Structure 1
Amino acid sequence: MHGSKAAAVGPGPAISLTKVRETAPGLVSLYKSAGVSLEKHGLNGRRAAVYLVLDHSGSMRDYYKDGTVQALADRVLGLSAHLDDDGRVPVVFFSTDIDGFGEAGLSDHHGIIDKIVANLGHMGRTNYHVAMDAVIDHHLDSGSTEPALVVFQTDGGPTSKLAAERYLCKAAKLPLFWQFVGFGDTRSSQFDFLRKLDELAVPAKRVVDNAGYFHAGLDPRKVPDAELYDRLVAEFPYWLAAAEEQGIVR
């Protein structure tokens, strides 16, 4: 394992506990739990952009209604506060196409998913590649030189597997790490493709291993915060080391 480059490492979390207490008191315990996981995985003081990609296909309806998606957004925000100092996470909603964009922020996180979803249209099918394309464009347009952790949630395989694989392989040359999170029945064959994406050959298919995958089960809210954060960041340092070696992250 290579150490992180000094330029991309700060003295501590990007946003202080005091600031989180002031702006988002409801996220304090999540913020603390995320900090423990980051320290455990050698990511203390690391800077990275954080994205949240949310499956908005028809089968996701109940997860939006019962607050599961909002709970994931809050947890990702708690993590982001350590990595990125702007206190905001860009959110991409996708189904057949891009259904919409939004932002979750420390100061307005409460109920933000419901507010955004209320203005989105029809819940369609599942096309990963359209969401991947949107994240790639956003990251390139931002001009950021920092690496990015993309939390990509879905409850099933994509309509176009070929396109999803192609985009992931193309994106391997960019400073983006894709952490896929599955919602639903762990025994479903729907997730076979995500396991395949996670294990695509290096360097035959892609220059570095730029993706991770874990399954959060039928009720993702029951996954303890500490476990969720461990699984969200466990593969990130290995990718950082490989990406630095290849000059993808500087």
Structure 2
Amino acid sequence: MLTSIDLRKKIVQITLEKKKLTNFTARVGLVLDISGSMQTLYKNGTVQEVVERILAVACRFDDNATLDVWIYDNEFSRLPSATEADFEHYVQKHIMNNKMIHKFGRNNEPPVMQDVIRKYTVEEDSSIPVFMVFINDGGVVKPIKKVITESAVQPIFWQFIGIGDSDFDVLKQLDTMEGRIVDNANFIHIEDIASISDETLYNLLLNEFPLWLKEAAAKRIIRI
């Protein structure tokens, strides 16, 4: 019998075929907001579901089928990567039961973003593209614009997902930000991520990434 992750991988594959992204390798990462307003979503299983849904993308993109994971509030933690073998209780094991992790404070994005950049451009420097999914429920600090602008020369595409009913003013400005060699960030707003179908989520998630791939390859930022 097919498991939920198997079904999701099939849906990802169909989406990739539609967008002509098959036979393609990318490193996949996930940054999770763990500020105070996210408590309910951690406790009711929504965040665990998000990990599984993005892991399905990593299984199709990533050459070793792993999902790199970070969480942040006003501090951040780089967590063990998620894989098909160990994702089922990932949030409970690595986040909720981990007393070393700072949880449910205020949000501050630039430090965790700098750590993402450090991992993919210093520790594991490569021209293989990075698809970075960034979950946030509002209140993003304005200095993220500087980080995104400066990282436009790096092989990282930032896909922000705003969840809940905040206004997301800063994230809405990402597509029109000037001063970048390529448009390296996109924002989608999904008010209730638990109720959206996998087909719809993957279609939204992978909508602008192919455009960046072409632009970044043309500017020799990535190798595809």
Of the structure 1 ranges 73-82 and 93-102, higher mean CA displacement relative to structure 2 is found in 93-102
Please state whether the residue corresponding to 1:36 is helix, strand or coil: helix
C-alpha distance in 1 between matches for 2:40 and 2:185: 27
- Equivalent position to 1:215, from 184, 189, 203: 189
2:177 aligned to which of 192, 196, 200: 200
The reply to whether residue 243 of structure 1 matches residue 224 of structure 2 is no
**How many correspondences in the alignment?**
218
Post-superposition Cα deviations, 1:20-40, rounded to whole Å, max 9, x if no partner, equal: x6xxx3301100011111111
CA apart distance, 1:121: 2.6
Q: What is the aligned-residue RMSD (CA, Å)?
A: 1.3
C-alpha distance in structure 2 between counterparts of 1:150 and 1:249, whole Å:
15
Question: Which AA in structure 2 matches 1:194?
Answer: L
| SS, match of residue 106 in structure 1 | coil
1:112 is the counterpart of 2:90: yes
Q: 1:143 corresponds to which residue?
A: 125
Picking from 164, 172, 189, the partner of 2:152 is 172
CA contact (8 A) 1:45 1:82 kept: no
Q: Structure 1 residue 100: deviation in Å? A: 4.4
The aligned amino acid for 2:103 is H
Superposition deviation, residue 210 in structure 1: 0.3
Residues 51-71 of structure 1: CA distance to partner in whole angstroms, max 9, x if unpaired?
A: 000001111000101111111
TM-score normalised by L of structure 1: 0.84
| Equivalent in the alignment of 2:199 | 226
Q: Distance in 1 between matches of 2:180 and 2:127?
A: 21
Deviations 1:116-142 (A, max 9, x none): 112123321111111210110110211
Aligned twin of 1:53: 31
Q: Given residue 211 of structure 2, which amino acid in structure 1 is its aligned partner?
A: Y
1:101 deviation in Å?
Answer: 2.2
Q: In the alignment, residue 105 of structure 2 is paired with which amino acid?
A: G
Question: Taking structure 2 as the reference length, what is the TM-score of the superposition?
Answer: 0.93
Conservation of the 8 A alpha-carbon contact between 1:55 and 1:126: yes
- Give the alignment of 1:60-139 within 5 angstroms: 60-117=38-95, 118-119=97-98, 120-139=101-120
Counterparts of 2:215 and 2:136, CA distance in 1: 26
Q: Secondary structure of the residue that 1:107 maps to in structure 2?
A: coil
Letter in 1 for 2:180: R
TM-superposition CA deviations, 1:154-206 (whole Å, max 9, x none)? 00122x31x21100000100000000001101xx32x11110123212xxx21
Which stretches in structure 1 are left out of the alignment for 5+ residues?
A: 1-20
Per-residue deviation at 1:208? 0.5
Take 2:120 and 2:221, find their aligned partners in 1: how far apart are those partners? 14
Q: Secondary structure at the match of 2:182?
A: coil
Q: 2-side partners of 1:249 and 1:222: how far apart? A: 35
